[in-house]
A and B are shown apart, each in its own frame.
Chain A
């Protein structure tokens, strides 16, 4: 059974700091997705990672995928308050399974 584990589940950080969210999974999939969810809203797709070594960046967010380690990271650079949200990773196996999410709170 595919398991997807994110950590941390909750993160409070100061503006301007860097941090990384980790997503570990238990299958040999090479497709991983990152989503953002704002309170009361649905999920918005951020990144699609399709192969080992894939790296995608948009603004202050950068996602990477290491399929050998079964690990993806979402790195936040110089955090700003607008990045406060819950971030989910999801892995494609024979179905798409989500992690529990990382609730990110950035203090002004």
Chain B
């Protein structure tokens, strides 16, 4: 089975801090995704990547950036955290066309 791991389950940061969320998958998947999940809004796609050093904007990329220097690792960066970025962040990976496998999530609180 694919294992998708995320660096933290819970994270508390202050407004204005630079925040790094790390995601690693161990099955050589080409595709990786970052979503955020908020009550009543479902999952919203922030960024995705189809290959190393490639990235595509999702539906809500503002305030975020990503990095994919190695195939197994996809990082989400909040350049200057704000309180409206308090959320559950979910990383996923997949083979092209198949259902993504999700990591356990990082619950980020920005105070």
B interface residues with partner A (beta carbon < 8 Å):
33, 35, 40-45, 48, 56, 58-59, 90, 92, 94, 97-105
The one of A92, A95, A101 in contact with B42, judged by C-beta atoms closer than 8 angstroms, is A101
The one of A31, A35, A98 in contact with B97, judged by C-beta atoms closer than 8 angstroms, is A31
Bitwise interface map of A from 57 to 90 toward B, beta carbon under 8 Å scored 1, else 0: 0000000000000000000000000000000101
Question: Within 8 Å CB of A43, what residues of B?
Answer: 43, 90, 92, 102
Interface secondary structure of A, over-half rule:
strand
The one of A35, A42, A48, A88 in contact with B104, judged by C-beta atoms closer than 8 angstroms, is A42
- Distance of B106 from chain A, by nearest CB (Å): 10
A97 touches B99 (CB 8 A): no
Q: How far is the CA of A5 from the CA of B78 in the complex (A)?
A: 29
Q: In chain A, residues 18-61, which have Cβ atoms closer than 8 Å to a Cβ of chain B?
A: 31, 33, 35, 41-45, 48, 50
For this complex, 28 residue pairs linking A to B, each with C-beta atoms less than 8 Å apart, are: A31-B97, A33-B99, A33-B100, A41-B104, A42-B103, A43-B90, A43-B92, A44-B102, A45-B100, A45-B101, A88-B42, A88-B43, A90-B99, A92-B97, A95-B45, A95-B56, A95-B58, A96-B33, A96-B48, A96-B100, A97-B59, A98-B35, A98-B42, A98-B43, A98-B45, A99-B42, A100-B40, A100-B41
A45 touches B99 (CB 8 A): yes
Q: With A50-B97, A98-B45, A101-B42 given, can you name 5 additional A-B contacts, CB distance below 8 Å? A: A31-B97, A44-B102, A88-B42, A96-B33, A97-B59
Q: How far is the CA of A39 from the CA of B94 in the complex (A)?
A: 23
Q: How far is the CA of A84 from the CA of B81 in the complex (A)?
A: 35
